[in-house]
Structure 1
Amino acid sequence: MVGGMDHHDHAAHGHVAEDARSAASEHTPHVHPAPAATWRMAASATLHCLTGCAIGEVLGMVIGTALGWTAGPTVVLSVALAFVFGYALTMRGVLRAGVGFRQALKVALAADTVSIAVMELIDNAIMVGVPGAMDAGLNSRLFWVALAVSLLIAFVLTVPVNRWLIGRGKGHAVVHRFH
């Protein structure tokens, strides 16, 4: 119907009809826009990823160092564990919302993959780039300071990535419907 409401009364359901939407066909489905990507929301999403990354990084570094591994295998283990723990933290919340395991895994993969990958790339590049940090050992101040600084820099550089993703309905935006 041109100039009026279609057969679905938007006002009765609290919807505000925009000019472009009301001019569209009555068969056009409702499109839910991506959430407003605020810096606070991006920082929160990044902090969530940082938690999983830090758990995996530290555990991987501890295991690799305790086993006397070189930097390469230790970094591979740390990255793998960062993804495992990052995904697990997201899945925990989604599973609590009543979603099945396979769907929760899909949500976690969509929500966290880019964020964790960026974070891991940055913090591991810094750890490997700091002379002696990977060989310093767990009782060394150099190791722990380098790891803390690498995670902090990774956090700062990943926040804009997450803001961009959330603004496009991707990344942690896919998790918000489950909270």
Structure 2
Amino acid sequence: MDHSTLPGAGHSSHHDMGSTNAMAVSATLHCLTGCAIGEILGLMVGTALGLGNLATIAVAIGLAFLFGYALSTLPLLRAGLGLGAALTVVLAADTLSIATMELVDNLVVAVIPGAMDAGLVNPVFWLSMMLALTVAFFAAWPVNRYLLARGKGHALTHHFHGAEPEGARRLIPDLATSTLVAAIVAFMLGGLVVSVADALEDPTPTGHAARAGLAHRG
């Protein structure tokens, strides 16, 4: 019997596709939050230490992977997995997604005129970061969807979510993706507002260059 002809079969297939799409969006946003935290922190560290562009990018990419893995590891530890087991699952689930985001994110920044040399008080820095992360999201979403549809990627972590933590594991923070996204968006908008205000305060090339030099990436 062809079950696709049964009443409701088409609806079930459509529902499954919609569920996979929604899960892919959630997984991609989850990875994106870790990448964004690592990228921004890495650029700040590079600026503070006076590192060159390549060194700063290397630090930012390293921190993006670190925070991306960390945010996925916390729920698994909270659910009862040991650190080694949790890291094994997370490495298998997130590596391809984070790698895709980092590749696309840095390529976008590289092709935006002036983005690589923009300081933290330069609106170009924040606008280029917002654009790069947005493009990275749309690049990584089909990757996560492909993996989820085959029971891989974040599908490896889903059945651990929602488990009731026991003992000291209750102290491990349960960070909702929506909360992280809201915090990052607010932070980036705040950075953009401050940089625009700084540029408007003294719009002359000399004044702007002097302040930008304090936050130059190298």
Q: Which interval holds the TM-score relative to the shorter structure?
A: 0.7 to 0.9
Instruction: Show the 5 A alignment for 1:99-178.
Output: 99-178=81-160
Q: Is the 1:37–1:163 Cα contact (8 Å) retained in structure 2?
A: no
Select the structure that is richer in helix.
2
Letter in 1 for 2:139: L
Are the aligned partners of 1:37 and 1:166 in contact in 2 as well (CA < 8 Å)?
no
CA deviation digits over 1:108-152, x for unaligned, max 9?
101110000000000011112212112110000001100110001
* Residue 66 of structure 1: how far off its partner (Å): 2.1
Question: What is aligned with 2:20?
Answer: 38
Is contact 1:90-1:108 (8 Å) kept?
yes
Q: 1:91 to 1:178 in 2, by over 3 A?
A: same
Output the aligned Cα RMSD.
Answer: 1.6
SS in 2 for 1:178: coil
Stretches of structure 2 lacking an aligned partner (at least 5 in a row)? 2-16, 162-218
- Residue 78 of structure 2 corresponds to residue 96 of structure 1: yes
Ranges in structure 1 where 5+ consecutive residues have no aligned partner:
1-18, 20-34
Runs of 4 or more, structure 1, over 4 Å off, are none
**Match for residue 50 of structure 1 among 32, 48, 62:** 32
Percent of matched pairs sharing the same residue: 55
Distance (whole Å) between structure 2 residues aligned to residue 130 and residue 66 of structure 1: 23
The CA distance in 2 between the partners of 1:71 and 1:170, in whole Å, is 35
Deviation at 1:54, TM superposition (A): 0.3
* 1:46/1:158 contact within 8 Å kept: yes
Deviation at 1:37, TM superposition (A): 6.2
Structure 1 residue 177, shift from structure 2 partner: 1.5
Q: Greater CA radius of gyration, 1 or 2? A: 1
CA-CA distance at 1:71 after TM superposition: 1.4
1:36–1:100: structure 2 CA closer, same or farther, 3 Å change rule?
farther
Q: Which amino acid aligns with 2:132?
A: S
